[in-house]
Amino acid sequence: MFESETYVRVRYAETDRMGYVYYGNYSEYYEVGRVEALRQLGMSYREMEDSGIMLPVLSFSIKYYKPAYYDDLLRVKTIIAELPKTRIKFIYQIYNANNVLLNEGETTLVFVKIQTGKPCMAPEAFLQKLNPFFK
């Protein structure tokens, strides 16, 4: 299992007239979570795309327990619980500064060759970075 953490500060733009972070904006925080998880592994999602493989999202689900507010500094915990094959699942938890779990969710993404549009196996270089965490 591979775990990673990163921080996101809530922007004014991301709040709504309830004063909460709009429910749809956590999709961006989760994106930040998984991209930084890859970076902490020594991978760059941008380079993966530049090398011809993209990762569109197949499914996304989220449960909201407590709202996040303007200017909150949120901790985004991202977990890869299984070695990916053609698909990769990320699990997310977002905590506020008082360490309260605000929401949790998951996304499943698929490795796709940009040129053909067809699913493919996770890149070998990526699996080599992940392997040590799954022994």
Binding map of a second copy across residues 25-54, x = CB under 8 A, - = no contact: xxxx--xx--x--------xxx--x----x
Minimum CB separation from a second copy for residue 106, in Å? Answer: 10
Using the contact rule CB under 8 A, the part of the chain among 67-75, 82-90, 94-102, 126-134 near a second copy is 67-75
Provide the sign of the torsion angle of the four alpha carbons 87, 48, 120, 133, taken in this order.
negative
| Residue 71 found at the interface with a second copy (CB under 8 A) | yes
Residue 1 or 114: the one with the smaller Cβ distance to a second copy is 114
Cβ count within 10 A of residue 30: 24
The stretches of the chain forming alpha helices (DSSP H) are: 26-40, 45-50, 124-130
Contact 55, 109 (CB under 8 A): yes
| Residue 64 found at the interface with a second copy (CB under 8 A) | yes
Binding map of a second copy across residues 104-123, x = CB under 8 A, - = no contact: ---x----------------
CA distances from 52 to 46, 118, 122 (A): 10, 11, 12
